[in-house]
């Protein structure tokens, strides 16, 4: 397998102590920041190593299908008593986590609208495929739920969730790069979250949208999302700062920006996303924003002719 294609997370098994040492050395070399001392960052680094999600982040600087699903469905799980304070912060207060949890609910609502007899719905990348497997499909005949992912582990986890949801008979899983679908006029829906936020090349993102456009049936629906630019990167920041806790936002920057140097930091504006989607033929665009406008959903359609 060509590991460079796994943009969201490395699949190497770099030991956690090696990862910690490497990050600790970088923190020391960079020195104190105006908003975070070396000691503060090293303390957070140690805290990250105390829980499984944190250890995965330390090694991979991204999250896979399993951990994405864990974060998205956390609000459904009720009060958890066995979390460390830092894991609780990541799951309950980190502004981007809150935004993507909202986004997930928006995706489910939009995707549900396409559920119909003989419809074919795709999730690309599939991850654990929750945005399709949690839809209400009881009484719907001949529906097909297609998952496409380059990561075989994500497909394995999706298969398990499909079985848990009693949907194995309508699910088809394919290992493929999203840019290499090689299908045309096949899907009534493509639900796609989590690729463009790892891809810095705008031309590649536009090409991804073109691939989706070609794969949709005439009249087909795309539900996708993107991260908007933080105020430090753009004068045209779309965030609603009034609903964002500034202490939580700063802690998020320290953890994911300074300590982890997370890979999912490719931002785009609503205007740029609109231009990209329309340039490949999509029409009737609708933007749906989370409260803070950090992680918008965009719905777009392929023309019916």
Query: pLDDT tens-digit profile of 188-226?
Result: 999 999 999 999 999 999 999 999 999 999 999 999 999
Q: Where are the alpha helices (DSSP H) in 113-151?
A: 130-133
Classify residue 34: in a domain, yes or no. Answer: yes
Q: Please say whether the beta carbons of 57 and 89 come within 8 A.
A: no
Classify residue 119: in a domain, yes or no. Answer: yes
Task: Please check whether residues 115 and 93 belong to one and the same domain.
Answer: no
Task: Please check whether residues 180 and 78 belong to one and the same domain.
Answer: no
Domain residues for 115? 101-229+265-302
Task: Please check whether residues 255 and 288 belong to one and the same domain.
Answer: no
Alpha-carbon distance 71 to 74, whole Å?
5
pTM beyond 0.95, yes or no: no
What is the predicted pLDDT for the residue at 14?
57
Number of domains in the chain: 2
* pLDDT band with cut points at 50, 70 and 90 for residue 305: low
Classify residue 4: in a domain, yes or no. Answer: no
Alpha-carbon distance 198 to 215, whole Å?
22
Classify residue 275: in a domain, yes or no. Answer: yes
Whether the per-residue pLDDT at 165 is higher than 50: the answer is: yes
What is the predicted pLDDT for the residue at 233?
86
Q: At what angle do helices 152-164 and 65-72 cross, to 10 degrees?
A: 40
Alpha-carbon distance 43 to 18, whole Å?
17
């Amino acid at each position: 397998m060509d590991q460079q294609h796994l943009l969201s997370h490395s699949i190497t098994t770099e030991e956690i102590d090696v990862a910690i040492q490497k990050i600790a050395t970088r923190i020391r070399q960079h020195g104190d920041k105006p908003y975070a001392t070396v000691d503060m960052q090293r303390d957070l680094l140690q805290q990250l190593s105390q829980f499984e999600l944190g250890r995965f982040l330390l090694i991979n600087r991204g999250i896979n299908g399993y951990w994405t699903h864990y974060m998205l469905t956390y609000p459904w799980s009720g009060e958890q008593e066995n979390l460390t304070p830092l894991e609780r912060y990541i799951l309950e207060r980190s502004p981007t986590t809150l935004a993507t949890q909202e986004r997930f609910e928006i995706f489910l609502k939009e995707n549900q609208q396409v559920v119909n007899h003989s419809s074919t719905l795709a999730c690309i990348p599939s991850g654990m495929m929750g945005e399709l497997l949690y839809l209400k499909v009881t009484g719907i005949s001949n529906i097909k739920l297609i998952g496409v992912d380059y990561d075989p582990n994500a497909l394995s986890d999706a298969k398990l969730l499909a079985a848990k949801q009693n949907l194995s008979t309508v699910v088809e899983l394919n290992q493929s790069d999203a840019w290499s679908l090689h299908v045309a006029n096949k899907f009534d829906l493509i639900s796609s979250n989590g690729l463009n936020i790892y891809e810095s090349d705008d031309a590649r993102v536009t090409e991804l949208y073109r691939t989706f456009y070609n794969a949709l049936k005439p009249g087909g629906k795309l539900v996708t999302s993107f991260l908007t630019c933080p105020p430090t990167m753009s004068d045209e920041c779309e965030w609603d700062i009034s609903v964002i806790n500034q202490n939580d936002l700063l802690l998020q920057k320290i953890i994911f920006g300074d300590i982890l140097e997370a890979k999912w930091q490719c931002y785009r504006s609503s205007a740029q996303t609109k231009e990209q989607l329309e340039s490949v033929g999509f029409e009737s665009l609708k933007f749906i924003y989370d409260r803070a406008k950090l992680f918008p959903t965009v719905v777009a359609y392929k023309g019916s002719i």
